[in-house]
Amino acid sequence: MSLTVYRRAHFNAAHRLFKDGWSDEKNYEVFGKCSNPNYHGHNYELEVGVTGDVDPETGFVIDLSLLKAIIKEEVETPFDHKNLNVEVPEFMELNPTVENIAIVIWKKLSERLNEKYQITVKLYETPRNFVVYTG
């Protein structure tokens, strides 16, 4: 019997969306306010889903305290209150769009979780803008 367990997490981070080599005007045209050269912040809301079979012995798909600890180590500690472009190695060369941040989070979590699980990353950049990545 397969189902999905979810854990919510949160981080605040600053970023700037831009393409190197484009003028500030061109970056503004494509990325809008998110291209501000002096950076700005978002309150990111994260939902991580782990799909798998219910263990008949424990009744768990995954121990939520383990999932909580992995999200803290892989996402909250390295990303919270950071400037993603400047302080987080994954985004020094990669534009920190909500799409790319979700993909990076998915990859980091998939390296830590047993490969028997299907992982879903839902990431909100604003209450109305969000992406879902399932690998």
Position closest to Ni ion via CB: 34
Q: Count Cβ atoms within 10 A of the Cβ of residue 51 and give its class: 0-12 exposed, 13-18 middle, 19 or more buried.
A: middle
Q: Is 14 in the site for Ni ion (CB under 5 A)?
A: no
Among 9, 13, 14, 34, binds Ni ion (CB under 5 A): 34
Q: Is 101 in the site for Ni ion (CB under 5 A)?
A: no
Binding span for Ni ion by CB under 5 A among 30-38, 69-77, 78-86, 87-95: 30-38
CB-nearer residue toward Ni ion: 34 or 75:
34
For residue 86, the number of C-alpha atoms closer than 13 Å in the C-beta half-sphere is 11
Q: Is 104 in the site for Ni ion (CB under 5 A)?
A: no
Tokens of 83: 């400037």
Smallest gap from residue 12 Cβ to Ni ion (A) = 12
- Of 48, 89, 51, whose CA–CA distance to 71 is shortest? 48
Q: Are 13 and 87 in contact (CB under 8 A)?
A: no
Distance CA 14, CA 79 (A): 9
CB-nearer residue toward Ni ion: 41 or 135:
41
CB-nearer residue toward Ni ion: 13 or 62:
13
Instruction: Enumerate binding residues for Ni ion (CB under 5 A).
Output: 34
